Structures are given as structure tokens and as C-alpha cells.
């Protein structure tokens, strides 16, 4: 029988991100202003996050559309160095380490995944996850949720799912997950609801 599981989104839940940091740094090495440079990624960001474009192709295309004058390694660093760990969530999950399984479900890309998994201690609490660029599907589509249930052997009725985007929460709720619509200011509420759910699962 599937055991209780915490399933969590990544961005704006476990880590914060600020693309304006990347925009300012990109603008220093191309001829587009920080205010608009990120719009140049609109046509390639989707294919990158759902796996139709690999890391090398994305970097090559991104450097081409922006006219970036640095190296591929410099671009990759700028693209990735936009995150900060959510320390409150790190504490919450750290207290549960070893008591139940924890997995990730994220719309992300290869460069970001490799970066945040290696850089932030919060990800040590997780036993694995499903990522849009590897699954070939993205939230809020139902396909990635069905893929996650099968791959991670989840029982939605015994899975506590955390996400910051309401469309994702609505899909998960419809599929039977216990859900929490997260924001950083709502962390005390998350802690209370998570504690209640854990007690119901017999986890102290």
C-alpha cells in the first residue's frame, strides 16, 4: 500500500527566484535593455521546459536571439544564479527527514534542475522527483500528474501536494491530492495544516 508522501513544487515554494537579476546581467553583455531582454526567450522557454530542446540547444538559441557577447558558460551561470533558499521551508521539511518520503514536481529545465539540486541543502530532504523537461509534459496539464502518480507510486489520497500556482492546485485537488496553495507569507498556515495532516497519517 502506498505510504504518505509530501510532493512539492520547487520555485516560489522551496526556493525563491528573481529573473530580473539575470536580466540585468544579460543586458550588460548584449544590446537589449534589462526591461525587455527576457521577452526574447518567449518562443524557446516552453520547448526547453517540456523537453523539446536540450541544454546546449537552449543556450545556443538564447545567445543568438539576445546577441550575448559572453561565453556559453557565462550565459549558463547568469541563467542559473537567480535563486534563494526558503529557510522556513527548509526547517519544516528538515524536521520530517526520515519520517516519510518527499518528492519534487516541477516545471523546470536541465540547467536549473542541476543547479538548484547541487546548490541548496533543502533538496537533501527529497528522494527524487518528476521534472517537466524529462517527463515531456508540464503543469497544469493532467498528464504530468498521472505520470508522477505512476512513476513515484503515489496514492493521491495520502499525498500532501504544495504549489504556489492555483491552476496546478486545482488540477491536483481534482485528482484527489491533499493540497496547499503556498506563498511565503502563508508559511505558518502551511505548517499548521501539514501538522494536522501528519497526525492523521500517524506521523509525529
Same domain, 137 and 41: no
Answer yes or no: is pLDDT of 92 > 70. Answer: yes
Same domain, 125 and 108: yes
| 75: containing domain | 19-80
Same domain, 188 and 159: yes
Cα distances (Å, whole numbers) of residue 139 to 46, 122, 148, 160, 164: 12, 22, 11, 17, 12
Same domain, 122 and 24: no
Same domain, 66 and 101: no
pLDDT digits (tens, 9 = 90+) for 152-195: 999 999 999 999 999 999 999 999 999 999 999 999 999 999 99
| pTM of the entire predicted model | 0.96
Asked which of 45, 80, 115 is the last residue of a domain, the reply is 80
Same domain, 158 and 194: yes
Same domain, 31 and 63: yes
Asked which of 80, 109, 130 is the last residue of a domain, the reply is 80
Domain count, the chain: 2
Burial class of residue 183 in the structure, from the number of CB atoms within 10 Å of its CB (0-12 exposed, 13-18 middle, 19+ buried): exposed
Amino acid at each position: 500500500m502506498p505510504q504518505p508522501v509530501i510532493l512539492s513544487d520547487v520555485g516560489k515554494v522551496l526556493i525563491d527566484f528573481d529573473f530580473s537579476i539575470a536580466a540585468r546581467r544579460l543586458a550588460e553583455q548584449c544590446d537589449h535593455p534589462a526591461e525587455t531582454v527576457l521577452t526574447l526567450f518567449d518562443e524557446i522557454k516552453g520547448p526547453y521546459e517540456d523537453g523539446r530542446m536540450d541544454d546546449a540547444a537552449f543556450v545556443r538559441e538564447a545567445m543568438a536571439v539576445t546577441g550575448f557577447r559572453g561565453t556559453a558558460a557565462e550565459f549558463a551561470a547568469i541563467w542559473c544564479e537567480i535563486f534563494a533558499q526558503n529557510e522556513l521551508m527548509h526547517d519544516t521539511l528538515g524536521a520530517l527527514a526520515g519520517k516519510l518520503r518527499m518528492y519534487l514536481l516541477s516545471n523546470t529545465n536541465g540547467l536549473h534542475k542541476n543547479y538548484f539540486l547541487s546548490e541548496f541543502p533543502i533538496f537533501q530532504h527529497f528522494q527524487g522527483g518528476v521534472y517537466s523537461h524529462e517527463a515531456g509534459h508540464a503543469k497544469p496539464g493532467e498528464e504530468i500528474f498521472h505520470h508522477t502518480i505512476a512513476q513515484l507510486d503515489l496514492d493521491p489520497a495520502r499525498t500532501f501536494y504544495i504549489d504556489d500556482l492555483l491552476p496546478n492546485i486545482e488540477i491536483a485537488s481534482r485528482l484527489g491530492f491533499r493540497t496547499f496553495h503556498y506563498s511565503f507569507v502563508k508559511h505558518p498556515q502551511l505548517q499548521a495544516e501539514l501538522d494536522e495532516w501528519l497526525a492523521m497519517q500517524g506521523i509525529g
